[in-house]
Amino acid sequence: MTRVLIALGLVLSLTACGVDGEPVRPSLNAGLGISGSGVHLGGAVGVSKGPVSVSIGL
């Protein structure tokens, strides 16, 4: 799992800086939920360029 996150971080870094063309916008979402069954943490990372957006939930 750690290798996947590191690889994803490297890909997002390279695409965000514009090495392969026009830069894309990286995004990071984090959430915290509290319910009767406990506390839930969640999040997602992604990139978007024009009308296309790709995101991976963690």
User: What tens digit of pLDDT does each residue of 14-55 get?
Assistant: 666 655 566 677 888 889 889 888 998 888 888 887 777 888
- The Cα–Cα gap between 42 and 22 comes to 30
Residues in the chain: 58
| Tally of domains in the chain | 1
Position 45, amino acid: V
- Evaluate if pTM is beyond 0.95: no
pLDDT at residue number 51: 79
Position 19, amino acid: V
3-12 pLDDT, tens digit per residue, is: 888 887 777 7
Domain with 35 in it: 2-57
Q: Which string of DSSP letters, residue by residue, matches 22-51?
A: S--EEEEEEEEEEETTEEEEEEEEEEEETT
